Structure 1
Amino acid sequence: MQTNHNKTALLVMDMQNGIVSRFAEHEKGVLSIQRAVEAARRHSIPVIFVRVAFSEGYPEINPQNKAFSAISKSSGMTVSDIATQIHESVKPKTDEPIVTKYRVSAFAGSNLEIVLRSRQIETLILSGIATSGVVLSTLREAADKDYALKVLSDACLDADPEVHRILTEKVFPRQADVLTVDAWINSLG
């Protein structure tokens, strides 16, 4: 299926210092994400970066939230913290938006949907860390919002390779086209 590049955006999700550093042994996956970013730029496909970060004092974190409540006790992951800045390997250009989210999905508490609507984006290409976190949550929400979806399987990383495999081979294909970075680049023409 040919994509109208003008209505497509590449989402590079949670490629921030504090998360990428935990995946140092996954250099091949980081290189795949870099290749996807470079290809999008060559083909004039908007690249939108998504990060998770919180305000000073963590007003966005509920103590009942198992995933995030520990962060509020560790005094890290604020919007100005080095851990929440986009990793140098995929450094955003000045005209590429950086969306800050407050939960797992790229849409949760962020201005992502406004950015997508303003650019008239209809198709999202998903990449990032982790497959079982931001990629899964964003895919589900984006599908409910009627975006056409593609997942770059080798540009998504997860701490559990079996969970990554199950998601990319069995779960994601129900709502998205799943392909490698090379296959996606070849489809761009």
Structure 2
Amino acid sequence: MTTLENRPGTALLVVDVQNGVMSDAYERDRVVATIGRLVDRARDQHVPVVWVQHNDESLVAGGEPWRIVPELSPKDGDPVVQKHHADSFEATGLDELLAGLGVGRVLVTGAATDACVRATLHNALARGYDTTLVGDAHTTGPLPDGLGLPSPDQVIAHTNFYWAQQTVPGRVAATVPADQAISAGRV
């Protein structure tokens, strides 16, 4: 139902699953394993896997914190998009890359839920993509104490809930578990 013409394809976005981002992430090992299984299914179904890496003063390109976690790795030919802002589309070639692949639907996974994942979700939907959050394949780290902020599990649950409630003309926003995101013969 995307508003992007002649773009029936789906892509899996793996956002900022980097050592420095994931080091203290909530349920890190479970989320990384879930993303790994999803990446394998995407590849089996010929769904492009697009890796996104954040670059800033704490995630300097080439440094260990910047690297994708060792349990996951792009294959030769997998696109890797470098970004400097929370939104994976802002000042990157992601939109053009997806257009070239004929993609009108994105499945979003990664970190951090309350920053880069949310920003990417919102901008994808605003740009015309059907945008699905994989509810058990994103995470965040602890937020500062003493400010009354929610715990990581509450941030994740709230994001899963509110993303499933989004409505916009001609596009679909959804939250699904990984085992429903990519099924044999149906993406």
TM-score by length of 2: 0.81
Aligned counterpart, 2:144: none
Deviation at 1:186, TM superposition (A): 3.5
Stretches of structure 1 that go unaligned for 5 or more consecutive residues are 55-70
The answer on 1:22 being equivalent to 2:24 is yes
Aligned residues: 167
Aligned counterpart, 1:168: 160
Mapping of 1:177-188 within 5 angstroms? 177-186=174-183, 188=185
Contact residue 8 and residue 105 of structure 2 kept, 8 A = no
Contact residue 6 and residue 45 of structure 1 kept, 8 A = no
The answer on 1:31 being equivalent to 2:33 is yes
CA gap of 1:80–1:179, structure 2 versus 1, over 3 A, is same
Contact residue 17 and residue 111 of structure 2 kept, 8 A = yes
Stretches of structure 2 that go unaligned for 5 or more consecutive residues are 2-6, 142-151, 168-172
The answer on 1:129 being equivalent to 2:131 is no
Inter-partner Cα distance in structure 2 for 1:178 and 1:13: 16
Mapping of 1:78-89 within 5 angstroms? 78-89=60-71
| Structure with the bigger percentage of helix | 1
Which SS does the other structure have where 1:136 is aligned? Answer: helix
Percent identity among equivalent residues?
27
Which SS does the other structure have where 1:22 is aligned? Answer: coil
Inter-partner Cα distance in structure 2 for 1:128 and 1:183: 17
2:67 alignment partner AA:
Q
Deviation at 1:24, TM superposition (A): 7.2
Inter-partner Cα distance in structure 1 for 2:184 and 2:161: 20
CA RMSD of aligned residues (A): 2.1
Q: Deviations over 1:2-29 (max 9, x none)?
A: xxx9611000000111112222743111
